[in-house]
Amino acid sequence: MNIHSLDAIALSEKVKSKQITAIEVVKQFIDKIEQQNPTLNCFTNILKDRAFEQADNIDNQITKGEHAGSLLGVPFAVKNLFDVEGIVTLAGSKINQKNSPAIKNATAIQKLKAAGAILVGTLNMDEYAYGFVTENSHYGATPNPLDLSRISGGSSGGSAAAVTANLVPFSLGSDTNGSIRVPASLCGVLGLKPTYGRLSRAGTVLFSNSLDHIGCFTRSVRDMAVIFDVLQGEDKHDPVCTSLPPQLCFDKLDDDISGFKIAVAGNYFQESAEKEVLEVVETVSKQLNVKEIINIPEAHRARAAAYIITASEGSNFHLKNLRSRPQDFDPATRDRFLAGAFIPNNWYIQAQRFRRWYRDQVKKVFQNVDVIIAPTTPCVATTLGQEKMIINGEEILIRPNLGRFTQPLSFIGLPVLSFPVLRPNKLPLGVQLIAAPYQELKILKVAAFLEKKLNHFS
């Protein structure tokens, strides 16, 4: 049985119905990982023995009629900034190699395993999640499975590439300024960054505390909904994830968007992008019969303020090591952290004040619209090692500018799904589906509608 093309729900149904054992599922996925990882460099740690042990336990439960869990028998992997019991949490760095192994799993991993999912490994990333390319000087680059000469994006590049290559049905990543949505766009998979504080970050290495989210990569919308449901819930170990009532989506998921008001983001979100990016947004707009264009005010300033907060908080967290062992950082990461260390305190304070004003302005926009459409990235996946690109006749740096459309949205914690538009004989591009805080169900419904219209998954 070829199981690699199945989504998580279909695979779990086959395990529960005894059409295939969990052991055989793990064997097939581990075999594929071991065959392809030398080329794709997605995995930094393959947890073969413990995956087989969990699979054996699941098969025993099924034999006894005790099986439960919406993701029973489904392999998954996580960005290597999630704590995995018994192994060192690298966060893409050399410095962390000497740390003690994690004493327990991150909250998100605990929840997924409780739902029956099987952890098979940890995934490559930009060092300390500061980057959009996953070209890591310590652990190597993760090339795009759709074109090995190009990047997968980042910082969750290994997570996106692993799903694209069918090495796992789903994976976890993190998103500060676009680190889930950028690689989702470049690799052609779904990438969800939920509302800030909706999912627990406990047991992860934080980059910028006031901006960090965790989220998921999948190939089907229904998988995204069920995984989002599993991951929700209050967690006293993450101060920003308390007293949040779960908003369960899977049972309510359909493609009925007849009552939704949808608009396209204009101005800033239609500038400094390749022509084909805007064409993809137009394609999605036509499928949704959207004609209205709205303006998200001061998006360019939101991006600038997001940079100040990110660089300030990130550099402060790593300040001790920047002083004592700068040579052990990835040079690209080190230089940006050092620049962040010199940002004046009053700039940071002003950026946070602007953030409150900007949140209020965007809140007004959502009084008249349910979902906003915007491009995810300004271009398709660029070539490995490429430093600059030309857009609209202007030469710009790739690393900071891949997130120009994602930063103004994560800046105020909005839920955003990057939906892939798969184009014959061309690289994919993502379109962001954006909603007001805690309205993940709306964007999942729009994604389900598009999935059906564009025949993405069956």
Query: One of 93, 152, 155, 156 is an active-site residue; which one?
Result: 155
Per the domain annotation, does 1 fall within a domain? no
What total of structural domains would you count in the chain? Answer: 1
- Any idea what DSSP says for residue 357? H
pLDDT at residue 172 greater than cutoff 90: yes
Q: Give the number of other CB atoms < 10 A from CB of residue 143.
A: 22
Whether 79 is a known active-site residue: answer yes
Beta strand 147-151 pairing with 140-141: unpaired
* Cα 389-392-394 angle, rounded to 5 deg: 55
**Using CA atoms, how far apart are residues 3 and 448, in angstroms rounded to an integer?**
23
Task: Tell me what the pLDDT averaged over the chain comes to.
Answer: 96
- The range of the structural domain enclosing residue 155 comes to 8-453
Which pLDDT score, from 0 to 100, does residue 456 have? Answer: 65
CA dist list (Å): 263 to 30, 93, 288: 43, 41, 10
Residues in the chain, how many?
A: 458
Is residue 77 included in any domain, yes or no? yes
Res 457: pLDDT: 55
Give the three-state DSSP class for 69.
Answer: coil
pLDDT at 458 over 50: no
**For a pLDDT cut of 70, what percent of the chain falls above it?**
99
Whole-number Cα distances in Å, 134 to 117, 180, 299, 445: 26, 12, 26, 31
pLDDT (tens digit per residue) in 381-437: 999 999 999 888 889 999 999 999 999 999 999 999 999 999 999 999 999 999 999
In a domain, residue 117? The reply is yes
Which pTM was predicted?
0.97
The pairing of beta strand 416-421 with beta strand 190-193 = antiparallel
Q: Is 391 helix (H, G, I), strand (E, B) or coil?
A: strand
- C-alpha to C-alpha distance for 40 and 63, rounded to whole angstroms: 37
Asked if the structure places residue 458 within a domain, the reply is no
How many CB atoms are located within 10 Å of the residue 58 CB?
A: 25
Q: Which helix (H) or strand (E) holds 388?
A: strand 388-391
Over residues 213-228, the mean pLDDT reads: 98
Of the residues 70, 174, 179, 312, which is catalytic?
179
Distances (CA, A) of 360 to 16, 109, 147, 229: 47, 34, 42, 28
Which residues lie closer than 8 Å to 108 by C-beta, 6 or more apart? Answer: 78, 82, 172, 199, 200, 203, 204, 214, 231
> In this predicted model, what pLDDT tens digit does every residue of 76-107 receive, in sequence order?
999 999 999 999 999 999 999 999 999 999 99
In a domain, 147, yes or no: yes
Catalytic residue check, 16 = no
Q: Which residue type is seen at 200?
A: S
Question: For 315-356, how does the pLDDT look when each residue is reduced to its tens digit (9 = 90+)?
Answer: 999 999 999 999 999 999 999 999 999 999 999 999 999 999
From the candidates 79, 193, 442, 445, give the one annotated as an active-site residue.
79
The residue written with tokens 């290495």 in the block is 205
- Confidence check: pLDDT of 8 > 90: yes
Quick one: tokens of 21? 């054992």
* Phi, psi at 99, each rounded to 5°: -70, 160
* Residue 105 within a domain: yes
Query: CB of 376 within 8 A of CB of 158?
Result: no
pLDDT band with cut points at 50, 70 and 90 for residue 144: very high
For residue 322, is it within any domain? yes
CA–CA dist 78, 112 (Å, integer): 11
pLDDT bracket for residue 202 (50, 70, 90) = very high
Q: Report the CATH number that the domain containing residue 221 is assigned in CATH.
A: 3.90.1300.10
**pLDDT for 393:** 83
The token pair that represents 44 in the structure block:
């930094």
Q: Is 3 a member of any domain?
A: no
Instruction: Tell me the average pLDDT across 273-281.
Output: 96
Catalytic annotation present for 210: no
Give the SS3 label for residue 372: strand
